[in-house]
Amino acid sequence: MEEENKGKTIVIRKKLLIAIAIFVIALLVLAFFYFKPSGKVLSDDSHVLGNPNATIYVVEFSDYECPFCQASEGTNQEEKIISSLKRIDPNWEAPIPKVIEEYVNTGKVKLVFRQFPVHPNKNPAFAVKCAQEQDKFWEYHKILFENYNALTITDLKKYAADLNLNLIQFNDCFESRKYEDNIQNDLNDGMGVGVSGTPTFFIGNEVKGFEKIEGAQSFSVFKEKIESML
């Protein structure tokens, strides 16, 4: 009789453990579908450089004040970020200039830039959006990375003048923070797809999927992933 009761107790415990496990799995499934962060790598208002018919994207979530973003763009020589990267990898090459040279300019890849300003000064992000209004996004973007140590409001307005932008339009746009929602959307999308720091890159497309590269890695890493996608 005692053995029979023990057997019944073991069966009840097993059933209870199974029920608890099913309950926990159900909670995890609900959490995944209802509480997971949402975001997307590409956006309808993303800044795209390259052949419209290219099917592979290199998407960059970046911040103009971020030293490693600057290194990825081939700048920030003065603070020796690039020198430190080359000490780790003697063959390190800034990826973005090489991606543009070998893949964007040859029509194979489209480069997409999305704002992820994690540093306190978000003014460059607002300013480059205002330059975009006058079809000068990439020109202004290049100036910002080349002049990473000079990003005050006075500097930003000077760069607009250097590009012969309509300064009344630029200043009105900049001072109104017109594109705040747009920049926040980039931030939200980035966090939703797992961006936790800058720079973060995604290579691929919505059919093949995207592979993520985190940090200022060498061009060779990009080349390998791009070639596999092509």
- Buried b or exposed e, range 140-160, using 16+ CB within 10 angstroms: bbebbbebbeebeeebbbebb
Q: 211 burial class (0-12, 13-18, 19+ CB within 10 angstroms)?
A: middle
- Domain range summary for the chain, segments of one domain joined by +: 1-36, 47-229
How do 209-214 and 200-205 pair as beta strands?
A: antiparallel
Report H helices in 95-152: 95-99, 123-132, 137-146
Per-residue model confidence as pLDDT tens digits over 40-94: 898 877 889 999 999 999 999 999 999 999 999 998 765 678 888 888 899 999 9
Measured CA to CA in angstroms, residue 14 lies from 1, 9, 20, 25 at distances of: 20, 9, 10, 16
65's torsion region: left (phi>0), alpha (psi -120 to 50) or beta?
A: alpha
* CATH H-level, domain 47-229: superfamily: Glutaredoxin (3.40.30.10)
* Residue 96 pLDDT class (50, 70, 90 cuts): very high
Residues 6+ away with beta carbon under 8 Å from 162: 143
Q: What is the pLDDT averaged over residues 152-167?
A: 98
For residues 100 and 183, give the distance between their C-alpha atoms in angstroms, rounded to a whole number.
24
- Model pLDDT for residues 182-191, shown as the tens digit of each residue: 999 999 999 9
- Contact (Cβ atoms closer than 8 angstroms) between residue 61 and residue 186: yes
pLDDT of residue 34: 33
Question: Cis before residue 199, ω within 30 degrees of 0?
Answer: yes
Helix, coil or strand: residue 173:
helix
| Per-residue pLDDT tens over the stretch 162-220 | 999 999 999 999 999 999 999 999 999 999 999 999 999 999 998 999 999 999 999 99
